[in-house]
Amino acid sequence: MLLSIIVPTYNRADRLCAVIQAYLNHIADALGGEQCFELILVNDGSTDSTASRIEQLSEYESAIISVNLSTNQGPGLAREQGLKVASGKWVWFLDDDDQLLKGSLHALLDLLLNVSESTTTIAHSLKQNYSKNKCGGNISFGLISNVLNYQEQQEVFNFVIKRQIILDNNIKFSSGVHEDIRYVFDVLRFSSSITVLEEKVVEKKCSDDSITLGMSTRRISGYLNAVAEVVPNLELLHLKSGMESLSLNSILTQTIGVILYQIDKEKTQNVRVSLYRFLGKALRSKNFSALMLDELSLIRDEPRRASTTNFKLATCIFLEYINTLSPQWSKVDTSIKDVYASRLSCRDLDKSIFLGPNEIRACCKRFYFRGKREGDVVLLKSNSDVTFEDVQNAKSDLLSKINSGEPNSCDGCPYLERRTAENERINYISLENFSYCNMRCDYCSPKYYGGSESSYSALGMVKNLMRDESLLDERCQVVWGGGEPTLSPIFKDVNRQLVSSDKIQKIRVLTNSLKFSEELFSLLEDPRVHIVTSIDAGSEAIFRSIRGRGTINAVLENLQKYQQAMSDIRRLTIKYIVRSDNCSSSELENFVAKIVSQNLIGSVFQISCDFQLNRAGMDVIKGIYELSTRLLSAEAHVVVFDDLIRDRVSVNKAQLHEITRHLDSLGLNNRFLVSADHPQEVVLWGVGLQSEWYQNHTTAGDAGLLDAAVYNQDDLTKLGSEFLKNEALILPCGVQSLYEILQNIETGGLSSRLARVVIA
């Protein structure tokens, strides 16, 4: 016999026949007949007519074997009784309300017929995407870790098991609920070879009377008992694998976090408080080993960081409450509800959409984690049918992984923060939905050189967003990136959609300006449209080396033309990415001279660095401050450092000394440098990451010169008359919002206080 399928059932007389008949038909069809399998139905002491229904089925279906229990023992012990009469080489435990997916079932049963003899367990219908079919080794540490940390399916029906390893290792189900967890743990740790089928075979159906529907004291006990049962074998696995996720700390935290999450979903406070009381009592029970109780104390006292997941935070808070003599359970309820009303996220995940060449991304941020560059997180690979709803669903899946501690593409991201969970509208649209470019910059990705539009309809996506303005924030910003956006055949049509909406506050076009665009020139008549052009060189040789094609002069001539269509030259941002090969003094001096000669010094200047760097070297840091000083000396009004500098530069006193010595050697005036010994206080206009960087990663910030940060005129007024009397300067802190900040400063009549400085 190839396969024994064991199905425990309790009081399901009204629906059992349909479920079992579907099982029989699908499995017999996949195996080419019934002689290869047996279906063992275990009546777990039902009080309705389930027993007689099973007898009727067994009379007509030769594959069915019936087992009748006189008392209800629970699903785990009922499975044990079924296993006693099983004769199959493989065992598959199913429930009496599952649905088999016919196409995938064929793949699973075909695998059973052809799998290597060394395979002892076949896993299927899993949450995680396991790239290698064989997990390898004596134990699949990753699979065990995911199961115990609630990051993988824990139900036994997700595993088809060789009957012999169950018998040889005396693997038994426990009584109660969530009995699957320890059973699956034992199966995996005793399996010498595991094969993973990357297909969903079983659709779990929760019936109205399911024992795992809603939280209960029985379920809490089941979860905690499962942890207690795996503890004796956990330390050895932890040592063998070296995986922190197989530590008792991690598994206890995840287990309690899951319980608290499910309690919080209960609708009435009385029910929630009752369950919290039960959990608190259980966690202080003598049934817990001394090892587990000690670990709970360590978890309770762990520091809580901005990146702490919901499960971890809720667990720490709950343990802190129950450590008091008389916990105030209503406060416990409020605190846990506050945790799960928020979650780890970021502005981009909550409020942005990034349309890439052949993918839709969650962000365009890059960061280093464990020595590897990460970021540009992909939500969906593009296809012609992708919709905004698909994007939102992909975001929800990613947020769920982030907050449950599952491995995900945002692990290690410094931009994650705790945010209130709400239905936030889109306030940022990034358009890079094409692969057109007339340059070949050495820092750019080849994916922008293909010469095509995305397979999904970016124009259709934009039309939908404009049509349903409930999706858009009142102050939505759009950025055209790439690639060269003006070469896109839909550049004109998309912009027509954008400018038609009053909710679009700003459209920034990141163009290389190598080729003059009549469409862009016409678009610039709308005061909401801005241009950003990166030049990155002062000589034609370096320009050609970095940008691949074209000349600086051609770019500057086109910028002059675009300037004529602008009512305010500050709608033009000229960018310079400082690198080791373009930061020589002669290169920087030539760049500034060309800007002055073309009458572009009134533009906004954005200084950046190479995103591929983990940390900027001293040559780049000196280049950043030299270029800033040269621009300000040439009467530039605004010089801003962008987020790439913010994430890769931190100025200390030793570095400041090198910067000032470098500027002195060039005869450049240090009066534009605000550092620890600057005589004037500086008020930062902007309360985001930029102002935080100035305050926490510069000598001026360390010296307390940048303590005041304001968001608007009202905040400035709150600083009081003392501010108005002194000579404090105002420094605009922002990159994409810089133009609006400058307008706010002017509206407040504070232009004379505008700081033409850079912070060090």
What is the tens place of the pLDDT at every residue in 135-153?
444 447 888 988 999 988 9
pLDDT in tens, 374-394: 999 999 987 778 888 899 999
**Is the dihedral angle over the CA atoms 637, 641, 643, 646 positive or is it negative?**
negative
Name every residue whose Cβ is closer than 8 Å to that of residue 439 and which is 6 or more positions away in sequence.
Answer: 484, 512, 514, 547, 548, 549, 550
Are the C-beta atoms of 472 and 501 separated by less than 8 Å? yes
Beta strand ranges found along 249-322 (DSSP E): none
Give which of 181, 22, 195, 19 is closest to 117, Cα–Cα: 195
Give the three-class secondary structure for 197.
Answer: coil
Residue with tokens 């959990």: 279
**What pLDDT, on a 0 to 100 scale, did the predictor assign at position 102?**
83
- Nearest CA among 570, 655, 654, 648 for reference residue 618: 655
Domain range summary for the chain, segments of one domain joined by +? 3-203, 217-334, 346-510, 511-649, 670-760
Q: Centre a 10 Å sphere on the Cβ of residue 714 and count the other Cβ atoms it contains.
A: 8
What secondary structure letter does DSSP report for 329?
Answer: H
- Dump strand ranges (E) for 168-238: 194-196, 202-203
Question: Which percentage of the chain shows pLDDT scores above 70?
Answer: 95
Q: How far apart are CA 474 and CA 84, in angstroms?
A: 66
* Contact in structure between 31 and 88 (CB atoms under 8 Å): no
Backbone angles phi, psi at 529, to 5 degrees: -95, 130
Tell me the CA distances in angstroms from 362 to 367, 390, 537, 736, one per residue in order. 14, 13, 31, 18
Place of tokens 């039309």: 463
Q: Where are the alpha helices (DSSP H) in 634-753?
A: 643-648, 653-665, 689-696, 699-702, 713-718, 721-725, 738-747
Cα separation, 152 vs 130, whole angstroms: 11
SS3 per-residue string spanning 623-660:
HHHHHHHHHHHCCCCEEEECHHHHHHCCCCHHHHHHHH
Separation between Cα atoms, residue 218 and residue 320, nearest integer Å: 24
Interhelix angle 310-322/248-264, nearest 10 degrees:
90
Check residue 698 and give left, alpha or beta (phi > 0: left; psi -120 to 50: alpha). Answer: beta
Neighbours of 65 (CB within 10 A): 20
Hey, which bits of 516-637 come out as E strands?
A: 529-534, 572-578, 604-609
How far apart, in whole angstroms, are the C-alpha atoms of residue 604 and residue 602?
Answer: 7
Alpha helices in 405-472, H assignment, sequence order: 458-467
Amino acid type, 653 = K
Across the chain, mean pLDDT equals 89
CA 480, CA 484: separation in Å to the nearest integer?
A: 9
Residues of the chain falling short of pLDDT 70: 33-34, 131-139, 206-212, 423, 712-727
Unique residue bearing structure tokens 């206890």: 252
Domain 3-203 has CATH 3.90.550.10: yes
Residue 33: Cβ within 10 Å count: 9
Q: What's the pLDDT at 133?
A: 39
Structure confidence at residue 136 (pLDDT)? 42
Task: Please state, in angstroms and as integers, the Cα–Cα distance from residue 302 to each residue in 167, 299, 313, 315, following that order.
Answer: 42, 5, 10, 11
Position 577 scores a pLDDT of: 96
Cβ atoms within 10 Å, residue 421: 14
> Minimal CA–CA distance to 9: which of 102, 85, 73, 103?
73
Rounded CA separation 302/358 (Å):
42
Write the pLDDT tens digit of every residue in 234-278: 887 777 777 777 889 999 999 999 999 999 999 999 999 999 999
* C-alpha–C-alpha distance, residues 518 and 163, integer Å: 73
pLDDT at 713: 64
Backbone angles phi, psi at 413, to 5 degrees: -70, 125
Torsion of CA 509, 510, 513, 518, to 10 degrees: -20
Cα-to-chain-centroid distance, residue 122: 30
Helix (H) or strand (E) holding 417: strand 417-420
Nearest of 650, 571, 570, 573 to residue 605 by alpha carbon: 573
At the top level of CATH, the class of 511-649 is alpha beta
**How many Å apart are CA 85 and CA 37, to the nearest integer?**
13
DSSP symbols for 283-301: HTSTTS-HHHHHHHHHHHT
List Cβ neighbours of 284 (8 Å cut-off, separation of 6 or more): 322
**Cα end-to-end distance, the chain, whole Å:** 76
List pLDDT tens digits, range 659-694: 999 999 999 988 899 998 887 788 888 878 888 899
- Taken in order 382, 134, 119, 159, the sign of the CA dihedral is negative
Locate tokens 């995305």: which residue?
454
Amino acid code (one letter) for 435:
S
- Alpha carbons 261 and 215: distance in angstroms, whole number: 10
